[in-house]
A = this chain, B = another copy of it.
Amino acid sequence: MTLKLDKVNRGPHLSTLVASSISREIAQGRLKPGDQLPTEQALATTFGVSRNVVREAIARLRSEGRIWSQQGRGAFVADAANATVLTIDYEALQRADSFRNLFELRGMLEVQIAALAATRRSDADIEAMEQALDGMRTAPYGSVAWLKNDLGFHRAVAEATQNPYMGQFLVFVSERVRESILAAGNQQKSDDMARTTLGEHERILAAIKAGDAKGASAAMTRHLAGAASRVGLPGGEASAKPASPARHSRLRKAVRGQAAG
């Protein structure tokens, strides 16, 4: 019984609504960097909520680097470049083009990471990869345990680069991709797929073990092409067409205005 409950309860919290509202004002340019926000009291009355709610919203925006505040002065809009967090809008991932774009980004990271891992891996890294592969062999394809070990393998590869940011970024992107796949929920499973996928991973591991950077990235490329087709994306990688026509070129703001909603 696959009860498919919708994941994000779009926060019933008032503070979430207030934060989104202010965020939108910033994203759409009605509040420019350096501008002073209305006082908490004013915001509270205009939104019709208590000052406490406004404070929670501001605390949130502050933690995201969107605004900064100082006791006795007020709250101000921070420079857009100062955003200390990178967020990916969950809603956007439901759109096919966004998903494809994110998948492409993941692929770019993975391929490079595989090559780097091949030149820097330690024995412990190799062992971690083999352990993850073992976990995949004993778990049914597509099960939670399988997915966990799948991600674990890729994380182990990323950690083999000895660069913590690689793993951090890759896991972040991969998780968004995975969520999106689960949300779509239309992948069919078969033992054949399990064997194929496992084989792709094994080839990656073999190349990394051998210290073959070129081979590792090639194997990873093949793996990603396979993964793409398994989730219903047009498989090719190098000659992939632009995910979205040249519309984006003039819309830099669209990229920056992250969670406008």
Contact = CB atoms under 8 A, between A and B. Distances in A.
Interface of A: 13, 15-16, 19, 52, 55-57, 59-60, 62-65, 68-70, 78, 81-88, 90, 101-102, 104-105, 108-109, 111-113, 116, 120, 122, 124-125, 128, 151, 155, 159-160, 162-169, 171-172, 175, 178, 242-246, 248-250, 252, 254-261
B249 A160 contact: yes
A249 B125 contact: yes
B68 A159 contact: no
A54 to B, nearest CB: 11
27 contacts: A13-B59, A15-B59, A19-B63, A55-B56, A60-B63, A64-B85, A65-B258, A70-B260, A78-B257, A81-B175, A82-B258, A83-B175, A84-B259, A86-B168, A86-B172, A88-B165, A101-B163, A102-B165, A108-B116, A124-B249, A128-B249, A159-B252, A159-B255, A162-B248, A163-B243, A164-B254, A167-B255
A244 B128 CA distance: 19
Copies of the chain in the assembly: 2
A172 B108 contact: no
Contacts of A65: 258-259
- Which of A52, A155, A259 is packed against the most chain B CB atoms within 10 Å? A259
A128 B172 CA distance: 30
A64 B63 contact: yes
Contacts of A261: 59, 62-63, 68-69
B104 A69 contact: no
